Amino acid sequence: MNHYSKHMIRYLVLLLFAPALWAQPVAVPLEQLEPTLEHNQSTHVIVKVIDKYHYKNSKLDDEASEQILDRYLEALDPNRFFFLASDINAFSKYEESLDDYLKSGRVDPAFHIFRIYRMRVEEAVAHANKLLDKDFDFTIDESYQYDRTEAPWVQTRAELDEIWRKRVKNDFLTLRLTDKDDAEIRKTLKGRYERVMHRVEQFDANDVYQTFINAYTLNLEPHTSYMSPSTSENFDISMRLSLEGIGAVLRSEDEYTVVQKTVVGGPAQLSGQLHAGDRIVGVGQGLDGEIEDIIGWRLQDVVEKIRGPKGSVVRLSIIPKELDTGGKRSTITLVRNKIKLEEQAAKSSIIQGLEGMGDLKIGVIEVPTFYRDFAAEARGEQNFRSTTRDVRKLLTELKQESVDGVVIDLRENGGGSLTEATELTGLFIDKGPVVQIKDASGNVELETDTDETLAYGGPLAVLVDRNSASASEIFAGAIQDYHRGIIIGEPTFGKGTVQTLVDLNRFLPGKSKDLGRLRLTMAQFFRINGDSTQHRGVVPDIQFPTAAYTNDYGERSLDNALPWAEIKPAGYTPKGNGTVTNLLQQHLSRIEKDPGFQMLVKEQEQLTEMEKRTEVTLLESRRKAEWDQREQERLQRKNRFRISQGLVALDAEQTDENKDEEEVDEAESKAANHIQLDEAARILVDSIKLTAPIAVMR
């Protein structure tokens, strides 16, 4: 499928914190699914604001109209399980008119299409439930195409019924392979399909409007989006309340709840058991509560099940990211807790004693986010908390430990304060420009470090990965442009745009009803060498082998992301020549037989292979054999790495419910986290040795 619909249209982020924000949902009568006066007013404002202030100079014309229609249909029926080709043909009358509707503030077509969609969902679910009353023959050699995003729309009801027959059979087989009995499977699946229908029936007029307007706004580029009044309110509440829960960010993808990321300092991240890309398919309360199947649930309802009071236990049934949806499930146990904000702060450690390091010591500073306590600063507090202040203190401590070099670890750092990115760069250069910002009018503003003092002038490396984004890319790009340090890891996320929240009510003074807000892209970041961080990200000087699998990740995976661009370079003076040829050869030679990197690459290969697959066998014997083979290969890879780290090998029969096993998994997670970090330290050591006998600056 195209990555836009997969990652953006159905994308919804919710932090699993705080008390429940949603009431028990009820079905919305069809006659209430009509646009309101507020929808018309909001549309007028949104279209005008985008035309005047959006960074991308795009036209709302017939071509855009056709694209908006396609994206709206993708948002509703991404896998083409509900609409018939005859429906799509009927909707084609809007292909060249949606732009005119939007300009006039009307959104009637969106509601007409949604009402048809809701009827088609009800028909499909009724058919699925009838299928569950029959038996399935799992000795027939046939396959099921579970990814139909690129398939043609189905012509006849009979064809659609056949697709649903295979879908239900696949769902049945998947649960059958988890040793559930047939009666339990039928009960689980009936509930799952009913929830698919109920989820659609709970869409009210505002939900329909938000979905359609986002088909329009996200057609511009991925980071412009509309938030309805209720979505805005929930967003504000979640930002104000105390951070309690498991500490995870989730998104809805097809009918699965997928972990977007774990929050540093939260129970999920600290446990080492839940990772980005894992799918949560079941939730149980307490140590022995029944695990409830949540496939097909609305994301809001899943969140209500997972979060809860501090100290309570939640158990999650997950399918690891490297397995397909029919893969073996594991169960993890987490204790909900308040997010430890000190865990989100920068922290330091020292690496020494690795093979080839000799007596050299490398300091590591992990920076999970670019934070700044703006509230404390506004109150006039002199010692307010910030990334730069914390890192400066850590550098002082590391110099007192006589480290020979420093690695700044920005893996999984999604960004934060632009001010902090600029000031943090200033700790490693005397003074000079850090980043350029170009607005929609073409004006370029320069963010500059004016502090001539150096906090640290010695050997430096910056470790990044595919999730290092925004402010992380500004810092890494500046260090690379100044040749101040070696950039190591994977190409970064590639988010080089700037957004602002626009309150739509400000354009209609005196309006009593809330119109919601628009998240608007209004500027773009450019490095001081003139290159954008957008799309390409920051490409490391030395790339790890997993970098080969990042082409379809981040901004690069989105078919309508703003492209890479360049402007005139800023005036700056590089600090070195940036040559890394000798370092690269040593690195490649070293990791060729490294069991840690071998595991990472093999897991990435398997994940990439799974993502390319669009169908699965419905022959039970073959399905089980494929499942067992993948599990055996995965276990062998993990054990080779575990043994290399002095950890005990896993047995295929060991269960995830065993407390000792969870502790071993946490040890494995910590060891895996050091695979790349240790190699970054070795690369920096190689660099230091190459410059000897030049004295190392402390």
> What are the chain's domains?
244-338 (2.30.42.10), 346-574 (3.90.226.10)
Higher pLDDT among residues 563 and 636, named by residue: 563
**26 strand-pairing partners:** none
Among 158-172, 619-633, 654-668, whose mean pLDDT is lowest?
654-668
**pLDDT, tens only, 435-468:** 999 999 999 999 999 999 999 999 999 999 999 9
Lowest-pLDDT choice from 122-131, 178-187, 215-224, 336-345: 336-345
* Rounded average pLDDT over 9-21: 36
Does residue 388 register a pLDDT over 90? yes
Strand partners, 425: none
Residue 11: predicted pLDDT: 35
The model's pLDDT over 514-555, given as tens digits with 9 standing for 90+, comes to 899 999 999 999 999 999 999 999 999 999 999 988 888 899
What are 254-291's pLDDT values in tens digits?
778 888 878 777 888 888 888 888 999 999 999 988 89
Average pLDDT over residues 485-489: 97
The rounded distance, in Å, linking the Cα atoms of 330 and 287 is 15
**What six digits make up the tokens of 64?**
């855009």
Query: Of 432, 305, 346, 442, nearest to 16 (Cα)?
Result: 305
Could you tell me whether strands 486-489 and 460-464 are parallel, antiparallel, or unpaired per DSSP bridges? parallel
Mode of pairing for the β-strands spanning 361-366 and 405-409: parallel
- The reported pLDDT for the residue numbered 24 is 45
Q: How far apart are CA 124 and CA 144, in angstroms?
A: 17
> pLDDT at residue 22 above 90?
no
pLDDT at 8 over 60: no
| Of 512 and 320, more confident | 320
| Least confident segment among 241-250, 376-385, 603-612 | 241-250
What pLDDT is stored for residue 253 in this prediction? 79
pLDDT of residue 449: 95
CB 599 within 8 A of CB 639: no
Pull the structure tokens for residue 612. Answer: 């390319």
| pLDDT(238) > 90 | no
Higher pLDDT: 43 or 663? It is 43
Q: What is the pLDDT of residue 244?
A: 59
Q: Is the pLDDT of residue 299 over 90?
A: no
Out of 229-238, 564-573, 597-606, give the one with best mean pLDDT: 564-573
296 or 199: which leads in pLDDT: 199
**Better-scored residue on pLDDT, 14 or 310:** 310
Looking at per-residue pLDDT, the higher value among 264 and 125 belongs to 125
- The half-sphere exposure of 320 on its side-chain side, counting CA atoms within 13 A, is 16
Distance CA 507, CA 548 (A): 47
Q: What is the secondary structure of 227-282 as a DSSP string?
A: E-HHHHHHHHHHHHS--EEEEEEEEEETTEEEEEEEPTTSHHHHHT---TT-EEEE
d(CA 680, CA 462): 8
> Tens digits of per-residue pLDDT, 549-594?
888 889 998 888 999 999 999 999 998 776 788 899 999 999 998 8
Q: Considering the chain, what is the average pLDDT of its residues?
A: 87
CB 541, CB 578: distance < 8 Å: yes
Token reading at 81: 């399980």
pTM: 0.85
Using CA atoms, how far residue 433 sits from 430, 445, 536, in Å, is: 11, 10, 21
* 164-207 pLDDT tens trace: 999 999 999 999 998 889 999 999 999 999 988 988 998 999 99
The confidence score (pLDDT) of residue 235 equals 52
C-alpha angle 573-576-580 in degrees, rounded to nearest 5: 140
Rounded Cα distance between 135 and 169, Å, is 9
Please report which confidence band the pLDDT of residue 16 belongs to, taking 50, 70 and 90 as the band edges.
Answer: very low
Asked if residues 497 and 524 have their Cβ atoms less than 8 Å apart, the reply is: yes
Q: Tell me what pLDDT residue 188 has.
A: 93
**How many angstroms separate the CA atoms of 399 and 578, rounded?**
24
pLDDT for 309 equals 85
pLDDT band at 63 (very low <50, low <70, confident <90, very high): very high
Active site residues: 470, 481, 495
Angle 418-426/387-400 helices, nearest 10 degrees? 30
- pLDDT for 3 equals 40
Gap between the Cα atoms of 418 and 85, Å rounded: 48
Which has more pLDDT, 510 or 693? 510
Other CB atoms within 10 A of residue 583 CB: 22
Name the more confident of 383 and 71: 71
pLDDT of residue 1 exceeding 70, the answer is: no
What local confidence, expressed as pLDDT, does residue 656 receive? 42
